[in-house]
Amino acid sequence: MRKVFIGVGHGGSDSGACANGLRESDVNLEMALAMKAELERYGVTVGISRTRDENDRLAEEIRECNAFSPELAVEVHNNAGGGDGFECYISGKNQTARQLAERIEAEVKRIGQNSRGVKVSTGLGWVNKVKAPAVLCEGFFLDSEDCKVADTAEKQRRFGQACARGVLGQLGITVKEQEQQEQPAALADRKAVQERFGFDDSTMLYLDGYRFAAALYQRLARTK
C-alpha cells in the first residue's frame, strides 16, 4: 500500500495570507483536495489534515501525519511578501525529501509557474518534526502579480494536480503522458459540466475523487 499524507496550511480562525480577494487557507485547501483526488486516482492511500475550513494547528497536523506513517508527506501553503514564484522547503537531512521537492518543482514549472528553488530550513516544524520524508510547498504569492497563476479554483486544482504528479513520480508510479497532454481539455470538460448542471464546488470535489472522473466529465460535457 502506497501512503501519502497532505498537511493543509492554516484554516478556521487562521486565514493565513489574504490579498487580491484570496484567502490562503481556502487556496491551500483547494489545492490539497485536488492533490488528494489525483493521488487516489492512481491507487495511493491519502491522509489529509483537514477537508474543510476549520482550525488546524501545526502540532496536530504533525501528530496526525506521524500516526498515519506515510511514505511521503507534503504540506501545502502559499506565500505573501510581494515576491514571485514557487518554492519548496526541506530539512536538508533526507535525500528522498530533496528528490520529492525537485519532482514537485519540475511539475509546477510545467504548468507555467516559475520557481525560487528548493530551500533548506532548520526552523520549520513540518519538515523537521515529521518522521517521513517531508516537504513544505509555497505555491505562489497572493499579494503580487504572481497570483494570476492560481487566482481561480480551476487554476488552484491544476496546481494541486501538478504537485500530485511530482509525488507519483517519487513513488515510481507512471503518469501516462497522454493524460498530461490532455489536462487542459479535461479541465475544460470539468468546467463545462459544472456550469451545465449547476454543481457547487463541494459536489465537484466529490466527483473529482471518482477514479474515472475525466472520462465522466468528457461524456457529460458532450451529451446533448
C-alpha cell at 100: 520529492
Phi, psi of 53 (to 5 degrees): -80, 105
Three-state secondary structure readout of 137-184: EEEEECCCHHHHHHCCHHHHHHHHHHHHHHHHHHHCCCCCHHHHHCHH
Q: How far apart are CA 38 and CA 51, in angstroms?
A: 15
Catalytic residues: 138
**Which residues in the chain belong to E strands, given as ranges?**
3-8, 18-19, 22-23, 45-48, 72-79, 86-90, 115-120, 134-141
